[in-house]
Amino acid sequence: MKKVILIAFAFVLLACGAVENENGASACDNGGEQGCTLEDSSTIKQELTDQKPFEKTNITTVFTMLENKESGIVYFGFSDCPWCQEALPILKQVLEEQKLNCYYVQTRDEERNSLLKEEEKADIMEKSMDFLQRDEENNPQLYVPFVIVIEEGKVIDGHVGTVEGYDTNERKMNKEEKQQLKNIYNAMLQG
């Protein structure tokens, strides 16, 4: 009986797309399977459509930055991703405190279809390999939220998901987890 319950529990976790990176930080599998409230989704859309500190762009701009040896911060995510909904206000706060701007690459549309072509996804994964999460078979995956720091055309830092032990399917982030994520973003962006 315990085996059946464990198998059922494991299946539910997989179906929800809950994953953890090697540091245990939870992230959205970018498959668009997680649910969210309309309020959460519209809040995220509003934060991303406000001009500062986010500038919506596309993956081509990111590749141009890399090729031209430019520097910048890039956030990958989508509005219906519950991990993105938790992380984005914290990232926005850090960006505002440090007076920085950040490019935003939307990875999924309103119907949760991928906006990245497979070759684009493979290319950005190759360029940010050291900071990606890995799936159960140890294959690198582009999970969101994903924040990268590009310096002179190289990805020098990155963070996937939120914090170790947090699962958006269970609850909202607590004060300590929010502070921990804020510290992670601050450390990344204090270039």
Assigned domain for 9 exists = no
Assigned domain for 145 exists = yes
Q: Taking a C-beta distance cutoff of 8 angstroms, is the pair 100, 73 a contact? A: yes
Strand, coil or helix: 143: coil
Assigned domain for 1 exists = no
Q: What's the structural domain count of the chain?
A: 1
> Strand 146-151 vs strand 72-77: parallel, antiparallel, or unpaired?
antiparallel
Of the candidates 188, 160, 179, the residue with the CA atom closest to the CA atom of residue 84:
160
Instruction: Output the domain CATH number for residue 41.
Output: 3.40.30.10
Strand, coil or helix: 151: strand
* CA–CA distance, 87 with 163 (Å, rounded to integer): 9
Assigned domain for 176 exists = yes
Assigned domain for 129 exists = yes
Assigned domain for 6 exists = no
Assigned domain for 13 exists = no
Structural domain boundaries, residue 86:
19-189
For residue 174, the one-letter residue type is: N
pLDDT for 190 equals 87
pLDDT for 2 equals 37
Assigned domain for 79 exists = yes
* CA–CA distance, 157 with 155 (Å, rounded to integer): 6
Six-digit token string for 18: 């809950």
pLDDT for 52 equals 81
CA dihedral 111, 90, 95, 27 (to 10 degrees): -50
> H/E element holding 65?
helix 59-67
| pLDDT tens per residue across all 191 residues of the chain | 333 333 333 333 333 343 444 444 445 554 444 444 444 545 555 555 556 899 999 999 999 999 999 999 999 999 999 999 999 999 999 999 999 999 999 999 999 999 999 999 999 999 999 999 999 999 999 999 999 999 999 999 999 999 999 988 999 999 999 999 999 999 999 85
